Amino acid sequence: MKILQITDPHLYGNAAGALRGVVTDASLRHALDDAYARVPEFAALLVTGDLVQDDASGYLRFRSIFGNSPKPVLCVPGNHDEPEAMRRELSQAPFQICGSWSSQGWQIVMLDSYDPGHVGGRLTGGELERLDRALAGSPRHAMVCLHHHPVAMGSRWLDNIGLANSEDFWRVIDAHPHVRAVVWGHVHQEYDGKRGKVRLLATPSTGAQFVPGSDRFAVDSRPPAYRPLELHADGRIETEVRWVESLPLRQSAAAAR
Ligand SMILES: [Fe+2]
């Protein structure tokens, strides 16, 4: 089963809205064109937060891009989202916000790590209980998704705005050995590691990226990206980040009109 992860599109209500020099709507559409052409068969889209850039009208734009998707669009909120507006505007199929989704022996559990007033994330006691319950009733293999990174990325500024209570998170995950992977956004860079037998995956944004390993906030010149995940029946995961060529600025501005 293939899942297509895209993350951190940071949309605005205005199609011309730009963040760190990237017109976010045009850049997302450009990444999607590549993804749909290269991965025509997928079971669901997974969007790991920051759907919008502090702009609730960005959800209308998100809906205009994904509203006709024949496949489920599974979403979690990020720190730049507005969860109430997100739930209101994306309340119907194909959208699903948090909860869990199962198919072909796999369960995808989506967590809400949004912490009001903070850039970093936190899982409430209720959300941790929900994770524990969902995994207890899970099929053979599970993949857990959230916006904030639950392990250090080796980047001082980013590691101050990760998942604040990651120890609580790992306590639940460690109790369920059928969790094969934890997948996140937020860090606008690629990461592929392991914690015990659990694969740890972060995916670059469909817009601008951050410089890996940097002590201070720094924008990378790398292009937009997305991540296909192939989830096998025996629990194996095959995945790699696909980088898309950056749109020339002129073209990105024209696409936004
Ligand atoms: Fe982001």
Q: What pLDDT is recorded for position 111? A: 98
The residue length of the chain stands at 257
Give residue 236's pLDDT: 97
Rounded to whole angstroms, the Cα distance separating 59 from 67 reads 11
Q: What is the 140 CA–ligand 1 centroid distance (Å)?
A: 31
- Per residue in 111-149, pLDDT tens? 999 999 999 999 999 999 999 999 998 779 999 999 999
Centre of ligand 1 from the C-alpha of residue 27, in Å: 14
The mean pLDDT value for 189-193 works out to 98
Ligand 1 center to 91 CA (angstroms): 22
pLDDT of residue 78: 98
Of 185, 192, 225, the closest CA to residue 208 belongs to 225
pLDDT at residue 245 in the model: 84
The sign of the torsion formed by the CA atoms of 147, 240, 224, 66 equals negative
Buried b (16+ CB within 10 A) or exposed e, 147-175: bbbbbebebeebeebbbbbbebbbebbee
For the chain, give the mean pLDDT. 95
- pTM metric for this prediction: 0.95
Question: 28 CA to middle of ligand 1, Å?
Answer: 13
Find all residues with CB under 8 Å of 182, minimum gap 6, and list them.
143, 144, 145, 146, 150, 173, 195, 198, 199, 200, 201
